[in-house]
Amino acid sequence: MRHLLTLFDLTPAEVRSILATAVHLKSLLAQGERPPILAGQTLGLLFEKPSLRTRVSFEAGINQLGGGSLFLGEDVGWGKRESPADFTRVLGQFLDGVVCRAKSHSRVEELARYDAMPVINGLTDLSHPCQALADILTVGEVFSQLPDNQFDLASLAGREVLFVGDGNNVARSLALICAILDMPFTLACPNGYAIDDIWIERISKAYPKAKLNRVERPEDAIGSADVIYTDVWTSMGQEAEAAERRQIFAPYRIDEKLLAAAPKTACVLHCLPAIRGEEITQEVIDGDQSQIIRQAGNRMHAQKGLLVWLMAPEWVEANIS
């Protein structure tokens, strides 16, 4: 049974297959077609954290594919009323797959351990693979050489991604998908906030040709960046550090002055929610180089590709070259 806990669970060919499936389904939707590929299937959404994009994009996505979803909040008693084995194996009797948005990565690993149903990581403290798939779908559209800005996998090779801010779960997943697709990745962050060495070493071992860099000043890398990406400085669970982080990360704000040093063709991304005026200014987030709303919309399209790839592989084999 296949799961997606991190992008290490996928081969480069599988990442490309998921993206190709997403592109095909997005094209069909634009033509008014919603093929019921997952008719009769039910997706559980087991969430420990609040959500807008992850919840709504998965619920809308499986609905468009002919299936249904169930939101599973605190009332189901995950980790409280019964053993993890009983909870997970019983859940597998009802569901065809589950998206888990958890505080700790060990929680999604625990769900997957029993192989009761396919498990998708909808966000943990370690990784956010669904976000990275949507990010790359967006970049491939922005730099496409194909008509109507259709996603162009070939256009991704060599595109330089600059992540400005904390080396968090989003940065980890983005660094990994860049390595998978031969895209240089640079993290601009203060000392002490880089992506952990274990994750970097794991990427380098799996993808020895990966181009992973780190600079202390965003100005040192923005001049060649095709993609400029940021996220909130304080993630959920770090609220006690908020004041300290605001002070430390103040030089890492994406504003018009910093963006002026980037190529005019560069695009700006943010996984949202954003704190306007903190990690990114209002002028940039709403500016001409921003692709942030398209990026948010692509969460649904990328995840539809993932759901079909995971839950209806025979359809992918028959319909996606």
Residues known to be catalytic:
101, 128, 131, 231, 271, 299
Contact, 111 vs 88, CB < 8 A? yes
What does the H/E/C string look like for the chain? CCCECCHHHCCHHHHHHHHHHHHHHHHHHHCCCCCCCCCCCEEEEEECCCCCHHHHHHHHHHHHCCCEEEEECHHHCCCCCCCHHHHHHHHHHHCCEEEEECCCHHHHHHHHHCCCCCEEEEECCCCCHHHHHHHHHHHHHHCCCCHHHCCCHHHHCCCCEEEECCCCHHHHHHHHHHHHCCCCEEEECCCCCCCCHHHHHHHHHHCCCCCEEEECCHHHCHHHCCEEEECCCCCCCCHHHHHHHHHHHHHHCECHHHHCCCCCCCEEEECCCCCECCCECHHHHCCCCECHHHHHHHHHHHHHHHHHHHHCHHHHHHHCC
